[in-house]
Structures are given as C-alpha cells and as structure tokens.
C-alpha cells in the first residue's frame, strides 16, 4: 500500500466506499465522475502504478475476469474497457485500474 494513493486508501476502507465486488485480487466500485450510465473501476489490491509496471500475467488475467464478473453483475451485455497508462494518456490516479463503461438496455 502506498500511503498517498487514493485507491490504496479506498481499498483499505478509509472512505467506506461500497464495493460492487471484492475478491482476493481486486475491488470494483463506481467511478465518482462517470462518463457512461454504468462506469465502474476494477482496481488491483496491490499498488501498481500503471500497466507499464505490471509484470504479473496471472494478476492481469484475474483483473480481466473480474471485469467480466462486474459487467455481468451490473447487467451489461455490451461494454467498453479502458486502461489509461501514463499522464499523457489521461491517467489521473497512478494506481493501475480498468474502467468498465456501458449502458443497461
């Protein structure tokens, strides 16, 4: 855990964030600034600054399976995933996370 990381604090329970899913590897919660009717974030429990620093293929697989589970739980048949990597790509929180965006139909 990195002390000044907002996502590490959320994972630690500092803000009483409601988790849509919590498992051994990740938490899923709603984005506070949604860009779609459904906009969730999948965040690994370990602090990894960005996709460039993620070396664990198994963790990446677990995160993607969590994406699938969260989308299904939210009732999304179709959805978009996004990983911003680095400031120039729009990453604002430097703890890797996967956006899930969609619209229930």
pLDDT tens-place string over residues 34-55: 999 999 999 999 999 999 999 9
Q: What is the mean pLDDT of the chain?
A: 97
Number of continuous H segments (helices) and E segments (strands) in the chain: 2, 5
Architecture of the CATH domain 6-93: 2-Layer Sandwich (3.30)
Please compute the mean of the pLDDT values over residues 60-84 and round it to a whole number: 97
CA 95 to chain centre: 9
97 catalytically annotated: yes
Hey, where are the domains in the chain? Answer: 6-93
Judged against a pLDDT cut of 90, whether residue 102 lies above it is answered with yes
Binned at pLDDT 50, 70 and 90, residue 105 comes out as confident
Instruction: Check pLDDT > 80 for residue 87.
Output: yes
Among residues 25, 95, 97, 99, the one annotated as catalytic is 97
* pTM summary value: 0.97
Residue 56: what pLDDT? 98
Output the CA–CA distances (angstroms, integers) from residue 41 to 19, 28, in the order listed: 10, 5
């Amino acid at each position: 855990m990195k002390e000044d990381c907002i996502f590490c604090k959320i994972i630690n329970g500092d803000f009483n964030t409601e988790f849509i899913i919590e498992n051994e590897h990740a938490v899923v919660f709603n984005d506070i600034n949604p860009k779609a009717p459904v906009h969730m974030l999948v965040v690994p429990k370990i602090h990894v600054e960005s996709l460039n620093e993620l070396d664990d293929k198994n963790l990446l697989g677990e995160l993607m399976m969590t994406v699938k589970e969260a989308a299904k739980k939210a009732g999304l048949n179709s959805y978009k995933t996004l990983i911003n990597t680095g400031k120039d790509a729009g990453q604002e929180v430097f703890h890797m996370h996967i956006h899930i965006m969609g619209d229930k139909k």
